[in-house]
Amino acid sequence: MLEQLLEKRLLFVTGKGGVGKSTVTAALARALAQTSRRVLVLETDTFSAMEDLFDYSSPGLEPVAINEYLHASNLTSEECFIATLRRFVPSERIARAVIKNRVARVFFKAAPSVNEVTILDQVRVFFEKTDDDGKPFYDHIIVDLPASGHAVTFLNVPATMHGMMRGIGPIAKMSGKVANLISDPKTTAIVAVCLPEEMPVNETIELAAKLDDELGRPLDMAIVNMVHQSPVPEENRQAFEEIHTQIRKDYPGVEAFFFEDEEERSESTALARLIAGNALALGWFERDSEYLQLLYDRLDAPIIEVPLVYESSGVDVVGKMARFLLEGNPAGNSVSDDESSQGVPR
């Protein structure tokens, strides 16, 4: 499933809040690391989700090794700023003193997009890092983009900056380098995470169009998270629906039973509740299929459907999802069978 991404050294993962973007990012990183590639996951100035998902703690800029192949770091804008500034002043101590100055702080707040540029430049620094033989140190760098705001705006900052400053001055030069890196589809992939629901699917379609318009590059992959599987095998579908119709006749408003206190629930409604519950799940599956179809119709990029994972700990969810990304889900039924997972329209 991940073939398209193996060639790309720099991966930007984007998605709105609540779609499980960080979980998918973590799983993608784990999956790539399991193929013996050295992977670095970067978060951008946020409450770290990776600390939970990888069960580690980020001390600052310097990446931490989660295992032999997997590394992670949370890039705070302040640390990135200091790292960039460090190149212009004699010592780190002075860089820290500069950033503490009140006038400087006001400047950081008001100056357009300085944070984004310094964060993205730090990504570039890791990208260009080499080992003793001069080979790239990290095989893959995966950036978990901020959930709020638009990914295109964020990724477009370096190009805008470069243009605005007419290419003059250190920030402009730095921005130019980063902009080139982002727009190069050979090196860089942009991956969108969404849910199989109306708004996230439409936003993903819009994102692909905007990437094309504004950055002149494609969306490389959409990962649809939390896809419901059909609760009923196709051959029993009609029979199940007839039984559900009968249950609704026998017990009008059966769905309300779900919310009765457990002790008030009557034995006699157990089967009704079980059937209504499965009907609810069938509804989720149908809704998901409808929006997945929309995505397949409108998106010209490979699509991976990640089935809903039932685990309570973040680490376990990531592990299961990573396994799915590597091996597919031969045991899964309907939606995530091999064919549809390869991005072939259903």
Q: Which residue has the tokens 């064919």?
A: 339
Residue 101 vs 130, nearer CB to other proteins: 101
Q: Per CB under 8 A, does 344 bind other proteins?
A: no
Task: Based on the shown chain and the rule CB under 8 A, indicate whether residue 169 belongs to the binding site for other proteins.
Answer: yes
By the rule CB under 8 A, 265 interacts with other proteins: yes
Report the interhelical angle of 170-183 vs 151-164 (nearest 10°): 140
Q: Say how far apart CA 305 and CA 190 lie, in whole Å.
A: 17
Applying CB under 8 A, the site for other proteins has a residue count of: 74
Sheet of 303-307: strands edge to edge? 64-65, 70-75, 39-44, 140-144, 10-14, 188-194, 221-227, 303-307
Which of residues 278, 296, 319, 337 is near other proteins by CB under 8 A?
Answer: 278
> Which range binds other proteins by CB under 8 A, 44-52, 133-141, 298-306, 335-343?
44-52
Q: Does 233 bind other proteins (CB under 8 A)?
A: yes
By beta-carbon proximity to other proteins, the closer residue of 33 and 232 is 232
Binding of residue 294 to other proteins (CB under 8 A): no
DSSP of 279-329: HHHHHHHHHHHHHHHHHHHH--S-EEEEEP---SSHHHHHHHHHHHHHH--
Q: Which is nearer to other proteins, 131 or 316 (CB)?
A: 316
Closer to other proteins at the Cβ: 3 or 103?
Answer: 103
- Using DSSP's 3-state secondary structure scheme, residue 253 falls into coil
Binding mask 178-217 for other proteins (x = CB under 8 A): -------------------xxxx-----------------
Closest CB 25 distance from other proteins, rounded Å? 14
Near other proteins in 6-35, by CB under 8 A? 16-19
Q: Is 296 in the site for other proteins (CB under 8 A)?
A: no
The answer to whether 30 and 132 are in contact (CB under 8 A) is: no
Q: Which of residues 98-157 bind other proteins (CB under 8 A)?
A: 98, 101-107, 109-114, 147-148
Binding residue (CB under 8 A) for other proteins from 243, 294, 315, 326:
243
Instruction: In angstroms, give the least distance from the CB of 33 to other proteins.
Output: 23
Interacting residues of 139 by C-beta distance below 8 A, sequence separation 6+: 9, 32, 37, 38, 39
Query: Binding to other proteins by residue 284, rule CB under 8 A?
Result: yes
**Binder of other proteins out of 172, 209, 315, 326 (CB under 8 A):** 172
Q: How many helices (H) and strands (E) does the chain have?
A: 14, 8
Q: Is 293 in the site for other proteins (CB under 8 A)?
A: no
| Residue 331 near other proteins by CB under 8 A | no
Q: How far is the CB of 319 from other proteins (least distance, A)?
A: 16
- Binds other proteins (CB under 8 A): choice among 242, 316, 327, 339: 242
Place of tokens 């007839």: 242
Contact between 240 and other proteins per CB under 8 A? yes
- Bridge partners of residue 42, in order along the sequence: 73, 143
Nearest CA-CA partner of 318 in 154, 200, 144, 120: 144
CB of 228 to other proteins, least distance (A): 9
Tokens of 299: 């998106």
Q: Rounded CA gap, 28 and 322, in Å? A: 6
Please state whether beta strands 70-75 and 221-227 pair in parallel, antiparallel, or not at all (unpaired): unpaired
**Nearest approach, Cβ of residue 124 and other proteins (Å):** 16
Binders of other proteins among 51-70, rule CB under 8 A?
52
**In the chain, what is the greatest distance between 2 CA atoms, to the nearest angstrom?**
81
Q: Is 238 in the site for other proteins (CB under 8 A)?
A: yes
